[in-house]
Structure 1
Amino acid sequence: MKGFSYLVITLLLSGIQGCKSTSETQASAPHPVYWQSFPDAKHIKVESPTQILALSEAAERFIVDLSLHERPDDPDMLDKFIDAVFHHQQQGLSYHSDANYSVATTFRLREANCLSLTLMTYALATRAGFKATLNTVEIPEYWSRKEGYSVLNGHINLTLSQTYKGKMIASRVVDFDQRIESQQFPANEVSLPSVLGMFYNNKAAIGLITGQFDYAFAYMAKGLELDPTLREGWVNLGVLYRFTNHYDAAEQAYLRAIALDDTDLTAKENLAVLYRHTHRDLKAAVLESEVKAQREGNPYYHLILGDEAYDNGLYAIAHSHYRRAYRLDRKNHLVLSALGKSAFSKGNLTDAKGYLERAIDNASHEQDINRYTSKLAAVASIQNINQGDFE
């Protein structure tokens, strides 16, 4: 099956500087979802879970046309359904990280991020008569870069099963990232309300990145209403409060996330950032030391540090971080691409070309492969021009 990217956006904004004013939020309130801090958020129209999951007429026809009801005792019907939904030639589905769409919109546009695609599959499978179970996958911390921010990603998959006369005759784990599936990370069943909370959180995170704070708050509040245990939602709410100088509320939100899971390094790092901003350096140092010690063995940690250094023009430091990431994972296409970028910045075109070729070999997403192929062509073009000048 076609590989798709991760989901569940949690902002890691340790490099962002903010003013150090005092909080304006009422810290005595029972929980840190303070609507009075964002009064205009009440005017944001947040779609309901029913609206998110509703199937369009076209999707309904798609299910009918599969004629799955004709052979309810045939275990191949489940595979027929999966192939029909995900086969690239049949549906032409493409991956877009910001495509946080409803089921109907995802089906119509044939583009989605992993979460939207999973929800579409859930809705279609349920309508087709299969049992669908959602799962969160315990992957190592993994970051990507978006609009200058470091974004922490999670992963989700889906278990579909077919029953006949009360007996299960077929079951499949549907995972849209073959790299994740092949490593067989532990997975835990998660409720539909929790996954819908992730959907709202993703939309809120995009709003936060783009500076639409009322929009972000409205979606965060809805997500936490559906699932008050969603740590990502509390962390992002804390970031939003920190951006808007409500520091007491930000601390409460981060502490809520940590209370839900004491191993949440993102919540602890963002809390440390808050402590630095509010001159509580000793508390910050304790958290920073704890987080760093636990992340040293994660290649993505060094990769994101390298990206931050590179963005600031510190190319030697960036290269050092990329090399450390490479020593931890020599087949990671993101690391290989970063090393290619680093080599190119130093004028080492041959090395840049070699790293990009290896990145292509190890990438599974078409979007990634196309991006690396474009970069490789640019490097090769420059290399050919230089050789022509030399001759």
Structure 2
Amino acid sequence: MRRLIQKIIFSSVIAAGLSACTVQPSIVEHLPPQTFSEKALLTGTVILSRPVVEKDLPNIDILAINRDMHLLLDSVDGATKSARLNILMEKLQDQNFALLYDADATLNASRVFVEQRGNCMAFSVFMVAMARELGINAQFNEVLVPETWSLKNKQTYVYQHINVIADLGIEQRMLDFNFVEYQPIYRQTTLEDTDAFARFYSNLSMDFLSEQKYTDAFLYIRKALALSPQSADLWNNLGAVYRAAGHPDHAASAYRVSLVIDSTNTMALSNLERILTEEGDWQSTNIISEHLQRYREQNPYYWYGNALAAYKQGHYELAVNDIQAAISLEKNDHRFHFLLGLLRFKSGNHGYRGHFQQALTLSAADRDQGRYRQKLEILGLEDIRPTRRHKTARSWNRTNLWWWLTR
């Protein structure tokens, strides 16, 4: 899950969104000078009343395997990696293991097994730990799902997603908590363990922040930065901690560090913009606002969000313009084409059939196609069919791996 704060609650992460746009690095040159150095920001003195030391930082055994998990794994004896993974799934089923999604439960592997709950980060931790014990190379995989923005307590949040790729030798298998949210067209990247663990601690930091436990929030984001010091999103989250704790100058400096690392980090820009607005620095605010608008206009999901809002208000022509802008930037998202089909249909334009066909063609998951077909039947358009079989850039084996998801 990026929170920008970044709650990589993965399936919900708060923080920076897609940075698919081309950004001018000179934005940093136009920002106010940095009041506090990186070293000063990392001490946490204004929150802890003293500089942080190593023993203050949390140290969680994230991939911990307990005795009962070892007993289960010892009973898995498949000859191949694929067979061992399948047997593991069967044995978990036999034990009536059902993982309940809990957005606020960033748990380590053993707690996931005991409590049978967790968010996408927790699920991924659990699966990586179990798979590796079986000799399977499993890696954390960050999926840049379409941005979902929200504003809470004067902070900007964006949610992202994490899952697992298991390398079985002859194939790769995608292990995902909620596969319906995943689409192969989404940009994604595998993570080193240190980067994934940094996101784990960042999640917990944001949980403490929501509870106004600023000392714990600082210590956990500080741990995250110790693991991944060049993460723009984590510096952004450090800024969120400082701001919530009542230290806007420290927060502004942390946001600036984030932007030095990644000048396209729209969340850091948004959060810094609010601080500068409150301080009355209109010159810097206007510069940031112009950059933000430029970045968002180059993001197809910005236009998609605008189109959805216009559609719900019945402004179909306006929505058509916005969704066409989205499609011009990203042609392979079936939701864009289906929405355009709906808009054409609602406004009496006979060009809707081609858009519905394209949506069906691009649908990567059978569940999506089923949903679209139900909608088309309601509209009396059940005769519309895909024009061809769409091939995605990656082909994943998805065989019955999502059974533990309960709602």
- Deviation by residue 1:55-112 (Cα, 9 ceiling, x = unmatched): 11111122123x23xx324743333335655x69842111010011111111111100
Deviations 1:216-270 (A, max 9, x none): 1111111111111222221111122223342332122112211222211111111
In structure 2, which of residues 118, 136, 149 is the aligned counterpart of residue 112 of structure 1? 118
Equivalent residues of 1:143, 1:300 under 8 A apart: no
Alpha carbons of structure 1 residues 75 and 55: separation in structure 2 relative to 1, 3 Å: closer
- Residue 65 (structure 2) pairs with residue 59 (structure 1): no
1: CA distance, partners of 2:72 / 2:109: 13
Secondary structure of the 1:10 match is coil
How far 1:173 sits from its partner (Å)? 2.4
State whether residues 38 and 254 of structure 2, in contact with CA within 8 Å, keep that contact through their aligned partners in structure 1: no
Q: Does 1:237 align with 2:238?
A: yes
The one-letter code sitting in structure 1 at the alignment partner of 2:275 is L
Question: Within 2, Cα distance between the matches of 1:193 and 1:10?
Answer: 18
Q: Which 5+ residue runs of structure 1 have no aligned equivalent?
A: 13-24, 163-167, 308-315, 336-357, 371-391
Q: Once structures 1 and 2 are overlaid, which stretch shifts more, 51-60 or 75-84?
A: 75-84
Pairing 1:272–2:278 present: no
In the superposition, relative to structure 1, how do residues 28 and 138 fare at CA in structure 2: closer, same or farther (>3 Å)?
closer
Query: Which residue of structure 2 lines up, in the alignment, with residue 80 of structure 1?
Result: 87
C-alpha distance in 1, partners of 2:371/2:151? Answer: 22
**Preserved contact between residue 11 and residue 150 of structure 1 (Cα < 8 Å):** no
The correspondence of residues 278-293 of structure 1 with structure 2, limited to 5 A, is 278-293=279-294
Q: State how far apart, in whole Å, the 1-side matches of 2:130 and 2:227 are.
A: 22
Q: Distance in 2 between matches of 1:320 and 1:238?
A: 39
Superposed, 1:145-156 pairs within 5 Å as: 151-156=157-162
Distance change in 2, residues 1:248/1:227 (3 Å): same
The structure showing larger relative contact order (alpha-carbon pairs under 8 Å, at least 6 residues apart) is 2
Distance 1:124 1:74, change over 3 A: closer
**Structure-2 separation of matches of 1:33 and 1:9:** 21
| C-alpha spacing 1:64/1:215, structure 2 compared with 1 (3 Å) | same
Number of the residue aligned with 1:135: 141
| Structure 2 segments unaligned to the other structure (5+ residues) | 1-8, 18-33, 327-332, 340-367, 373-401
Q: Does 1:48 align with 2:54?
A: no
Aligned equivalents of 1:170, 1:108: Cα separation in 2: 30
User: Cα 1:301–1:217, aligned 2, differ >3 Å: closer, same or farther?
Assistant: farther
The letter of the residue matching 1:34 is T
Residue 321 of structure 1, CA deviation: 10
| Structure (1/2) with the larger helix percentage | 1
Q: Which moved more, 1:75-84 or 1:130-139?
A: 75-84
Contact 2:142–2:188 (8 Å) recurs in 1? yes
Give, as a single letter, the amino acid of the residue that structure 2 aligns with 1:53: L
Paired residue total: 309
Contact 1:207 1:215 in 2 (8 A): yes
Q: 1:146 offset after TM fit, Å?
A: 6.8
- Distance (Å, rounded) in 2 between the aligned partners of 1:267 and 1:321: 32
1:36 and 1:131 mapped to 2: Cα distance? Answer: 41
1:74–1:183: structure 2 CA closer, same or farther, 3 Å change rule? Answer: closer
Structure 1 residues 147 and 264, CA gap change in structure 2 (3 angstroms): closer
Aligned: 1:97 with 2:106: no
**TM-score, with normalisation over the residues of structure 1?**
0.66
Residues 201, 232 of structure 1: 8 Å contact kept = no
Give yes or no for contact 1:200–1:222 (8 Å, CA) kept in 2: yes
**Secondary structure at the residue paired with 2:146?**
coil
Do residues 227 (structure 1) and 228 (structure 2) align? Answer: yes
Identity rate, percent = 22
**The one of 43, 47, 55 aligned to 1:34:** 43
1:1-391 map, 5 Å: 6-10=11-15, 27-28=36-37, 30-39=39-48, 47-49=58-60, 51-65=61-75, 67-68=76-77, 71-73=78-80, 75-82=82-89, 84=91, 90-143=96-149, 151-162=157-168, 168-296=169-297, 298-299=300-301
CA contact (8 A) 1:242 1:250 kept: yes
Contact 2:85 2:131 (C-alpha < 8 Å) held by counterparts: no
Shift in Å, 1:129:
1.2
Whether the 8 Å CA contact 2:221–2:238 is kept in 1: the answer is: yes
Q: What is the CA-CA distance between 1:28 and the residue it aligns to?
A: 4.8
Contact 1:78 1:170 in 2 (8 A): no
Q: SS of the counterpart of 2:177?
A: coil
Question: Within 1, Cα distance between the matches of 2:171 and 2:115?
Answer: 30
C-alpha distance after superposition, 1:1-37 (max 9, x if no partner): xxx961333399xxxxxxxxxxxx9725635213211
Tell me, in whole angstroms, the C-alpha distance in 1 between the residues paired with 2:256 and 2:221.
16
Q: 1:27 to 1:148 in 2, by over 3 A?
A: closer
Amino acid at match of 1:155: H
Secondary structure at the counterpart of residue 53 of structure 1: coil
Letter in 1 for 2:70: E
Q: Which amino acid aligns with 1:112?
A: G
Decide which moves more: 87-96 or 139-148: 139-148
Equivalent-residue separation in structure 1 for 2:79 and 2:167 (angstroms): 12
Q: Secondary structure at the match of 1:33?
A: helix
Is the Cα–Cα contact under 8 Å of residues 91 and 110 in structure 1 kept in the other structure? yes
